[in-house]
Structure 1
Amino acid sequence: MTLFQNVTLIDEMGNVTPRTDLLVQGGRIAQIGAAIPCPPGAERIDCTGKFLTPGLVVLHTHTPMNIFRGIAEDVNIDDWFNRELWPFESKMTEQDIYWGAKLACAEMAQNGVTAFADHYFGCQHIARAAGELGLRCDLAYTIFGFGGDPEPELQKAEELLAAYAGNEMVHLRIGPHSPYICSPQVLRRLVEVARQHGCGIHLHVSETAEQVKESYQKFGKSPFAVVAEAGGFTVPCIVAHALYIQKEDLPLLAGDTFVAACPKTYLKLGMGEGQLWQHWQSLQLGIGTDGAASSNTIDPLEQVRLFALLGKWADQAEQFTLPQMWQLLFAGHRALPFGAGRLAVGAPADLALWDLDTPATAPVYDPLAAILYSASAANITHTMVAGRFVKKEGRLQVDVTAITKQVADCAAAITRRGRGESKVYF
């Protein structure tokens, strides 16, 4: 049990409740109110002057790619995939996947993240890493459907679905890579399996203008229309990027279709303006980070800040308001099955405690502004998941030095092995 005393709450909608208490018991929020008596055996934390929010969420990432952070810089998106990332990935080991994911989970815990949605292979290693850090994860096993046959990859995905069935911290879904790699027949098969398991899908759609152009040339329709025709929006769906979503794509999306925006990657790889900022309010939008091989950080606060600034830059300074961006920061929780991202009695105790009385964030006229535009991981003193601290008094509850040492060893081995041959092309 933990009692946060005399704390200012900021809920997922941006509502501020000053100087109250919040009691955590059995991994959930048990009580909210003034002057809650401290139960016997409970840990009492004096939060005078501090702010308590739901934990942050990453709606799209590739955690093992933390092992490739900084390996492919100053290249365009085609070369990033075809000459750099995919050739390096072709020689990845299970150790690379595990330690890359563990490094990412440590980074996320440091950044106040309590849940994330991942799209990668080797999901059992990601689940292990997330479990050791204490984070919740929604994992989509990436399926390419090589040669039009997804069955070998699908078998691995279904084995993972069975292995983690009923796990409150790990959720599995099917992960077709994209409509430009998976054929319509493969997409239909994967959606069918996702429907059978009731687990949903997670895929990349309309990332670049070229993908949209090629889709019209090949199929006579947009990438979103290809996914819709395969039934992709008849099951719960996380769409990564949608940078080039078009107005005519919007009616295709269902109420349980969520889009993850990762603006740092779009800037880094020179992917262009796209149409996402034109249509964002018509979407169920959340914040992703993409992988650290492209975005270099797994920091949703940085991403929502960029999203807001890119929106304001186009002579729209009065739009992308503090309440809108605050709600966007937590919206990704609604796409995940954990019920987190809320400050309410009975909700999972997935929380972040902020100290804004620092040179970087003081004075605090508006805590939303202080967090969205000034704060960093240094302002997060505690991160809690399911009632357990994964970061406490500014320190992660794992041996960070051991993680970075193993990561350095993996990076040295990656450098020695060099690039391999990729089976796919962007």
Structure 2
Amino acid sequence: MKEKILLKKGNIIDENGKVTENINVYISGGKIHKITNEILNELMGRYEEVDCTGNYITPGFINLHTHSPMNIMKGIAEDISIDNWFNEKIFPYESKLTDEDIYWGAMVASAEMVNNGVTAFADHYFAQKSVYKAVEDMGIRADIAPTIFGLAVDYRNQLNDAINFIEKYQGKNSRVNLRLGPHAPYTCPGDKLTEIIDVAKKLKAGIHIHVSETEEQVIDSIKDTGKTPVEVLYESGGFDVDVIIAHGLWTKKEDLKFINDKAFFAFSPKTYMKLSMGEGSIYNLKDDINFSFGTDGAASSNTLSPLEQARLFALNGKFISNSATDFKTIDIWKALMNGHNALKFNTGKIQEGYNADLLIWDLNKLNTFPVYDPLTSIIYSSNPDNIKCTMVEGEFLKFDGKLKADTDHILKQVKKIQDNILKRGKGESKVQY
């Protein structure tokens, strides 16, 4: 596609769910240049036209928490408890992953996300250079946080590697942001969490951390420290920087006093259901917490669709609250869009000057037609086939239903790695869940 693109005669759905019909969106240099209901004759011939008649144009989706390389282990640990999922399956298999495994895991994950309308994702994993390369090769956006385990014997090396990575690569690619990824308060105990956050401050970077995932974690934290995990994070300075809180499923109401507007929670309800992690508190605290949706890793939730997670959150919320009028469609849409505010890529609004990270939807299909309310059709009825195009910074990564990436090659490489993972078997994990 040419650098100058005209999305012609589409219906815009903005970040607040407002629909504006029959609008032309002019894109130049990766940004939204002009939005008008007129055809600008002086620009004709300079923009490549994409007919969007009858289609809807929306901002892309943000996956606010995932472990993209874990796509390489999708389905390897099923129907077991969360303790066994970590300690008997995932951690042991992860201990033998190579940089090549992680690259192709991130590649197949990125391709899946592009197909699902994800234009940017927040990643939390190790071998961060392999993830970075996959992101560059796919063309998607990413906020990459190298994972740091404070309890690991090589903790100091992990921290130094993360520092060197951020110092070398921060700002090198407009589609990539970097931050530190302390795993969790219970795996980065005491002064180590404070040290990591102090480093983040010096680097002018944020953090991405798992907090209060399970009820047991909260109970153990109170028993060991006299504080909830959220309070531990607060006292370590975690809310002094931009922070993505993965899950926070068991955040307590009294924790709210520690949380500020620098914090964004990433909810992944499919994982909570899959691993029987309980109802938690997030459905009751949704109006008091700044949140959007992540997918967690595909080894737990099996798919990388923030839209699916939002759908499950809405349905669970209605069921748990025993209120069909709560968890309204418009509010779920706004929560989906809120992920853009967390990652700060100048995306999420269809306004002049914003980066053109957009989706084009065809809702004139059997699964979504007829369309009385396009938001309802998208949130409750759509699937990836309804996403005709996924655009990042004015570049189509998916066009007319087809990914730009060579998916046959990606799948072939992933199959080889799957065979190697099973042949190598399990190793010894560095930490215990």
Question: Normalising by structure 1, what TM-score?
Answer: 0.99
Question: Deviation of residue 41 (structure 1)?
Answer: 3.5
Q: Is 2:102 the counterpart of 1:97?
A: yes
Cα distance in 2 for partners of 1:236, 1:148 equals: 28
SS in 2 for 1:424: coil
Pairs within 5 Å for 1:248-259: 248-259=254-265
Cα distance in 2 for partners of 1:398, 1:217 equals: 50
Q: Tell me the equivalent position of 1:151.
A: 156
Provide the aligned length of Structure 1 versus Structure 2: 426
Question: Deviation of residue 145 (structure 1)?
Answer: 1.9
Q: Tell me the equivalent position of 2:76.
A: 71
Q: Tell me the equivalent position of 2:233.
A: 227
Cα distance in 1 for partners of 2:153, 2:275 equals: 29
Q: Tell me the equivalent position of 1:23.
A: 26
Q: Tell me the equivalent position of 1:363.
A: 370
Q: 2:47 aligns with which of 11, 34, 42?
A: 42
SS in 1 for 2:233: helix
Q: Tell me the equivalent position of 2:412.
A: 405
What amino acid is aligned across from residue 237 of structure 2 in structure 1? G
With 144-153 and 317-326 compared, the bigger mean Cα shift is at: 144-153
What amino acid is aligned across from residue 191 of structure 2 in structure 1? Q
Question: Deviation of residue 165 (structure 1)?
Answer: 2.1
Pairs within 5 Å for 1:10-409: 10-37=13-40, 38-146=43-151, 150-166=155-171, 167-314=173-320, 315-409=322-416
Cα distance in 1 for partners of 2:20, 2:5 equals: 19
- Indicate conservation of the 8 Å contact 1:262/1:290, yes or no: yes
Q: Tell me the equivalent position of 1:9.
A: 12
- Indicate conservation of the 8 Å contact 2:153/2:430, yes or no: no
Cα distance in 1 for partners of 2:129, 2:371 equals: 43
**CA offsets per residue over residues 34-64 of structure 1, 9 Å max, x none?**
1232443321011111000001110000000
Question: Deviation of residue 148 (structure 1)?
Answer: 7.7
Q: Is 2:428 the counterpart of 1:421?
A: yes
Question: Deviation of residue 149 (structure 1)?
Answer: 7.0
SS in 2 for 1:146: coil
Cα distance in 1 for partners of 2:73, 2:116 equals: 19
Gaps of 5+ in 2: none
Question: Deviation of residue 150 (structure 1)?
Answer: 3.6
- Indicate conservation of the 8 Å contact 1:150/1:186, yes or no: no
Cα distance in 2 for partners of 1:402, 1:341 equals: 32
- Indicate conservation of the 8 Å contact 2:152/2:431, yes or no: no
Cα separation, partners in 2 of 1:249 and 1:148, compared to 1, 3 Å:
farther
Cα distance in 2 for partners of 1:206, 1:425 equals: 16
**CA offsets per residue over residues 100-139 of structure 1, 9 Å max, x none?**
0000000011011100000001111111111111111000
**CA offsets per residue over residues 185-243 of structure 1, 9 Å max, x none?**
00000010001111110000000010001001100110111111111111110000000
What amino acid is aligned across from residue 44 of structure 1 in structure 2? E
CA RMSD, 1 decimal: 1.0
Cα distance in 1 for partners of 2:18, 2:205 equals: 32
Question: Deviation of residue 342 (structure 1)?
Answer: 1.0
Cα separation, partners in 2 of 1:361 and 1:147, compared to 1, 3 Å:
closer
**CA offsets per residue over residues 49-92 of structure 1, 9 Å max, x none?**
10000011100000000000000000111110010100000110
With 46-55 and 127-136 compared, the bigger mean Cα shift is at: 127-136
Cα distance in 1 for partners of 2:37, 2:384 equals: 28
